Structures are given as C-alpha cells and as structure tokens.
A = this chain, B = another copy of it.
Amino acid sequence: MTQKRVWLFHEGNADMRNLLGGKGANLAEMTNLGLPVPPGLTITTETCMDYISNGNQMPENLMAEVKYALKEVEDQAGKKFGDASNPLLVSVRSGARLSMPGMMETVLNLGLNDSTLQGMINLTNNERFCYDSYRRFLTMFGSVVLDIERVEFENVLDTVKENEGVKLDTEVSVAGLKSLIPAYKAIIRQHTGEDFPQDPYEQLQAAIEAVFRSWNIPRAIAYRNHYKIDHNYGTAVNVQTMVFGNMGDDCATGVSFTRNPSTGENKFYGEYLTNAQGEDVVAGIRTPKQIAELENEMPELYRQYVDIAKKLEQGYKDVQDMEFTIERGKLYILQTRNGKRTAKAAVRIAVEMAKEGIITKERAIQLVDPYQLYQLLLPSFDETAKKSAVHLATGLAASPGAAVGKIVFDTEEAAERGNSGENIILVRIETCPDDIHGMIASQGVLTLRGGMTSHAAVVAKGMGKPCVAGAEDLKIDLNNETLTTSSGKVFRKNDIISLDGGTGEVMEGSVKTEVPEMDENFNTLFTWVDEIKRLAVRANADTPQDVAKALELGAKGVGLCRTEHMFMDPERLPWVQKMIIAGTPEARKEALDQLLPMQYNDFYQMFKAMGELPMTVRLLDPPLHEFLPNKEDLIATVAAKKALGQDYKSDEEMLHVVESLSESNPMMGLRGCRLGLTYPEINEMQVRAIFSACCDLKKEGLDVKPEIMIPLVGHVNELKTVKEVLERVAKEIMAEKSVDVNYMFGTMIEIPRAALTADEIAEYAEFFSFGTNDLTQMTFGYSRDDAEGKFLTRYVEQKILPRNPFESLDTTGVGQLMEIALQKALPVRSNLKRGICGEHGGDPDSVKFCHKIGLQYVSCSPFRVPQARLAAAQAVVEENSLAHSQL
C-alpha cells in the first residue's frame, strides 16, 4: 500500500465516496463549502480491508499517520488530545461506501479519562453532564471495543437507580453517576484482566480497530447479503472533534430551517438554547427560544450563521435543515440536510426560490414532491384538533381527505339523507357497485374489509372522497345497526365520527377540518409544469361532474369513461336486469331499447362537458352477475323459505339465473369483449348511443372526439370481430344523421397476451390504453380483491415485494410487458395513440415510467391530475439532467 491512508476533512471531496465512505466524503464536502464543521480525519476503506486481510492486524505505521493528522485537527480545534485543561474529545465512527445504518460500531467522547474529565468539569461547570458522558464512554468502550456484554454495565446502573428509588437515567443523582465510574472500571478489569486504558491514543487505536472489525460482524454481513453489497468494500473510519454547547453562556445549540417548513415563508425558522446540549432542545425540559432572538444574544455569530445558511441554500439549491453548536463563542455546523416541508410550503418555496434566482424553473419543479401534492387539494384535519381527538381504529389509507359525519349503515338511507343535505359517513363491511349512489351522497366511506384497490378504495379515490378501508378491528352488527371498536366501545347509527383517509385513522366525534385552496404560487408552478412536460394528463371520469372537476384540475381529456356505473343507476337497474335475464336476442333488444335513450343522454352530457377534448369511452366491461342480486343472499332466502314451507319459486328462479352467470373466477371469466362477442346487442346499443350523441353535438357546433375502447382483448380476432360490427353501426348512424364525427376505435392492453401480440393487435387498434390494474393482476396472478387482504400487505412488510404493485407500477414485470407491447406495435402503426388508464396513471413514479417508455398520455382520477402533471414535468427534468450527465 503506497496510497494515502489518512485524509483530513479538507483534503477530500464529495466524489471520494468509494475511498472515504459516504459519511467521510460528505464531511469533506461540507468542509470545502467553507462550513465550520468540527475538524477531523478519515481513514480509508482500503485500509480497513488491509487490516482484515492482514488477520486483523493494524497496518504498519498507520497509527503514526493518524497521530500526525490528529496534530492538525488539534490545531484547527484549538484543543489538545489528552490535555487536562483543554481536552480534545473525538467521535470514532464507521462509514461505508453505501449507507448501512446501525450495522457497524460508533464510539463517542473518546479521549475522556480521569484527568480530562476534570478539565471538562472545569470547562462546562456541569459535573452531572461530565460524569454522565464518562460513564457512557466507559460503557461504549467496554461493549464495542472490549466485547463485554452491555447488560453488565446496565445491571450496575439499574442497581443504583433502584437504590435511589428512581426510574429514568436522567433522574440519577450526581453521586450516583460518580459511583458508576469505579464500578465500570472494575467490570473492564474483571473481563479483560487489564485496566481501562487512560492513554487516549491507546483508546483511539482500540476504537479504530473495533470499527474495522465491525465490518464483519454477523449483522453487517447479513445486511450486505440482503442488499447485495460487496463484502470487499470495507468501511472507512471517521475521527471527528466533539463540540459542546454546554460549556457556559458563550455556548449554545439549536436547529433551524432556512425557510418556514409549514408555510414556506422566506424567513429563518428554528429554536435554540444557550449553554445546553442538543438533546435539551428536543427534550422539552427547558423552553427553547426562537432563532430570531439569537440576533440579539450573539449578533456576530447570528450573522455568521445566516451567511452560512444562505450559502448552503444556494449551494444545495434547497431549503436547509441545519444543526449547529456554539462552543465558547465559536460556531460549528454539525449537520445540514434538505428540509422536510408541507405541500403548501413546498410549492411556495419552490416558486419563490426560482423567482429569487436561486434556482431554475426546472429545479423548482423538482422541489415539490408529487406524492405530497394530493394534500393540497383535499380538506384536512386541523392538526391540533386531531391530536386531542379520541382514536377508534386504524384502517388502510384508501383515499385521502378529511370527512366528518353521522354513521349510516344502509346505502339507500345514506343516499337519501346525504342528498337531502345531511353529513353522512357510509359504514359498510365492504362496498359493491350497488353502493355507489350511497357513496356519492356521503362525506366519506369506512369499510371493514378490502384493500387499497378494493371497490370502495378505487371508487372513492376516483371521486376524491375520503375513504378508510379494511378497518378490520371494528365490528358491524347490521341487525342492531352498531359499530363496535376493539376495546368494546359501541357506536350507533347517527353517532358522529371523523375519518382521515390520508392516514387511515377513525376518530370519535367531529374533529375540526380546514379547507386548503390553490393559491397564486400553485398556479405559477403549474404554468411552468405545463411548459416543460410532454405527457398529456387526462382524467378517468364517469359523470359530467367528474369531467368538470378534471378540467378544473388541468386534465386535457378523459382517458377512461366507464359505462358500467351508468348501468347501476337505480332507475335503470330493472331494465338492465331484464336485459340480462332475457332468454332471446329479441327480448334482450327490447330491454336495450329502453336503455338506449338513457345512455344517449349520459353520453350527450358527458361529451358536452368534455367539449373538444378527446374522451375514451370503454364499452361495458364487468361480468353481468354484478348487476343481479347477491347469490349468497338468495341461497339463504330460498333455504329459509323452504324450511318454513313458504313459497320460494321466484327467489329460486332468480337464483338459477344468478347461478348460471356465476363464475369461479369472475375476474378471468365472461366480461369485457367476451361479453360483447356473446351478446353483441349490448355493445351495439352503447355505440348507437355514443354516436347519436356525438353527431347531435357536432351538429350543434361542438367538434367532439370520441374514442371507443374495446376492453379485455387478448387475441387480435376478438378486436377485429367486435370492431367490424361496431364501426358499421357507427357509420350507419353518421350516415343517418348526415354528419361526420372524428372518432377512433382502440383497445385496452390489459391482458398479458395482448401485450405479447401487440403487433397483431395494432393492425386493428388506433389507440392502446394500458389497463395496468388488470395487467398487474394477470401478470402477477394476483386477484386484487383477495391479495391485499390475504397476503399482499405482508409481502410488502416482509420486503418480498418492494411496493404494492397495484399502487405503484411494477416496472420490472408489468412495465416490461408494456415495453414489449410498444416495441411490437409501433413498427406496425407508427401513429398509434398510446396511454395508460389504470390507477397507476396517477402515481408519480409510474407516470415517470410512462414518460420514459414513450406513452403520450396518462389518465387518472381527477384529484390526482395535478400530481400526475407535476410528475410528468419532473420526468422531463430528470431526463434532461441524465442526458447532461452523460455528455
């Protein structure tokens, strides 16, 4: 080894992560930025591997090099290692190339011994603090360096606490702490046969070796195995000066943000304490002062601090969250990192920093977290009010927002009372399409079963309606109309509860809410977003109200209009059921003739609301049994009536119909285009309604753009056959009405086979809309209705899956299929229109992936449109910066 093994902080830089470790490189970078970082040195990762390959022997002359560098650290710190009057104490920490938090060892306050202890007492005037530091150091040194079980030290401390009759470490008297020192030394002597080393250099060498060795302790090896980190990287060792904010009134410690993290206001924000340790600020024993007061107390240091803060904000191009300590009139920055902030603050900070010229618009776009943006659009609970609320249960955070209302268990009742102005929370075991009108009329929805993509969750998210799903700790008794918590508390119908759909919390009574609004900054940011992004963002919308909301939030069309919700309307359901039960095509046609004018009106209103932006209408998709009464209810009714000798004929007849339509796995059964191929009359009626409405609107001067989407195609012949019939119907109607509509026929790509044979399918489809909900189901073989309740949550917890693939697109598997589809389809039809309409269309990471693979639009529920737009813009920024870095 001829390479330099010991580096002072100012000798390194941020790019030397491999040699100096992540922490060492960062400390070097901060030092070079001119920050008053407590001085120190880093021993390289290679030296660690030398030590290990050498059979855990210190490389020759290493300690001499360390001592040499430490001299300079002493000069910078103005203290001396082992000096009784002005002692330099150091921390010795590991720091690998990749972060392995908590896996390896750390020793603090190294350099303390019987004599430097006295020096510290003199300097701090705080005997309790110094003895506490010394006993902690002895414990750490004993356990980490000398391999003595930590519990041995703790047992002694426990005895002292017992004798003094106290419970917390902080309650032990100074005398008690003092008494620990000889006791701890005795433990060390007993286990090692040698005295605790008073020589600080001896301490230092032992600590460095302990850190080296900690690279290969079992938990570190296991961690590297798990994360596939190379076992030959080794760890660096950082030896850094300890500083103390509690050495007198010219000392202080505090935390601060360069801007207000709640509101975003461009004003220094934070707290500090004079003559105190960092922990004191957080602990709440003394009340910290506002950072502004530091200007009065220590004007020069405050100015220094503000200068540094501004420099850091400009350097890191983001709000900084800083920790500082003032030791005897000297300012040290211990840490700086990008500050966390609320969505509101994030938008303001980004826009203002850009306007101030600190950052570009591109950077401003990157500074707002799209996942957080949803917060801005929905009512939320007043945080203080929430803290004091009584918590009843926690379910899945299925659809964010705050909702307060009276418990109602029955959908019809919820619909009626909600529509007449009452605030209702619909509480159901689970929801089904029948519940939609109840959901619409409620403030929020609470279900006991079902996951993040259960019916309740998906529909609620689409409506921007708060929903807590799968709150399994609660019990419903439908007969008595009660809701019981796990602690046995019983709520009745009309009792008031509050739901936080963003956290999954259910609370008692009416918790205060606040309604945020979109401000000037929001609008400015989204002007920039729209300038830069290339992906169009559409909305999934089933009603004219949805369309209006979507337009308000910046959608440029509807990517998915589901027609089945239109069939669920209570007025129409009888006709829908007649259509299903119909034994002949003629009888079916008769029922459909009743539905036609209603569908005409649906589409007339939808397209009118949409204006001249494109709208994709998906033809009827779900299995028909969803429109019929529940099978299990019918079985129970028939059995009960039979047992009682009552007439059960009509129930049994309906049961036979339901049974003939019921399937073992309806998700993979007779639905989508399979339905259209089985009962062509249904699709024909829908296309008739769509084109009649569009032709009439066109005549009224509106250049509508219908896109007819045929769902669940898995083989090109399905699409070909259905499309041929429907396009003929469309042309007939346009001929009848003597007007030409600008239309397209296309398909959802939601079956793996469709993606794999996209070249064949592209011959007949003018557009592809990736239906990634179903595509995820089929690609993983997960039924979303079952998986989330039964095993998916555990899979994510156990890290078997990195994320729930129904929330964020699985780019490795499902995304691969999307890429295959595009690679196959585009050579066949270069102008293929291509987008996504699964739930993933609103998930920022998934939106970025869609941008990357060359989709032209994403479509998501109206309330997720802004975050999708932002993510689309971020995708461009990231792409540009990647291109730049590759130059």
Contacts and interface: CB of A to CB of B under 8 A. Distances in A.
Given A718-B800, A812-B757, A785 B664 contact: yes
Given A778-B779, A786-B669, A813-B756, A800 B664 contact: no
Interface in A602-636: 631-632, 635-636
Q: Which 4 A-B pairs have the closest CB atoms?
A: A665-B783, A636-B639, A668-B783, A753-B813
27 contacts: A637-B639, A641-B643, A643-B643, A644-B644, A663-B783, A663-B785, A664-B665, A664-B666, A665-B666, A665-B668, A665-B786, A667-B668, A667-B781, A668-B787, A669-B786, A669-B790, A677-B791, A714-B779, A714-B780, A715-B780, A751-B780, A752-B778, A753-B810, A753-B813, A757-B816, A760-B812, A778-B781
A668 B782 contact: yes
Nearest to A675: B791
A565 interface: no
Interface string A662-688: 011111111000100110000000000
A81 to B, nearest CB: 48
A752 B774 contact: no
A539 interface: no
B774 A781 contact: yes
Interface in A795-844: 795, 798-801, 810, 812-814, 816-817
A752 B639 contact: no
A664 B751 CA distance: 19
Contacts of A782: 668, 714
A801 B715 contact: yes
Contact of A791 (B642, B670, B721, B812): B670
A794 interface: yes
Contacts of A636: 635-636, 638-639
Contacts of A760: 812
Contacts of A678: 790-791, 794
A777 interface: yes
A50 to B, nearest CB: 31
Given A669-B787, A677-B791, A779 B753 contact: yes
A712 interface: yes
A219 B760 CA distance: 25
A881 interface: no
Given A669-B787, A715-B801, A756-B813, 12 more contacts: A664-B785, A665-B783, A670-B791, A678-B794, A712-B781, A715-B800, A717-B800, A753-B779, A753-B813, A756-B779, A757-B812, A774-B781
Contacts of A751: 779-781
A640 interface: yes
Contacts of A774: 781
A86 to B, nearest CB: 55
A812 to B, nearest CB: 6
Contacts of A814: 753
Nearest to A667: B665
Interface in A725-775: 750-753, 756-757, 760, 774
Interface centre among A674, A677, A752, A801 (most CB of B within 10 A): A752
B644 A786 contact: no
A86 B429 CA distance: 93
Contacts of A756: 779, 812-813, 816-817
The interface centre, meaning the residue of A632, A643, A751, A816 with most chain B CB atoms within 10 A of its CB, is A643
B639 A635 contact: yes
Contacts of A800: 677, 715, 717-718, 721
B790 A670 contact: yes
A774 B781 CA distance: 9
B674 A791 contact: yes
A63 to B, nearest CB: 42
A25 B721 CA distance: 36
A762 to B, nearest CB: 15
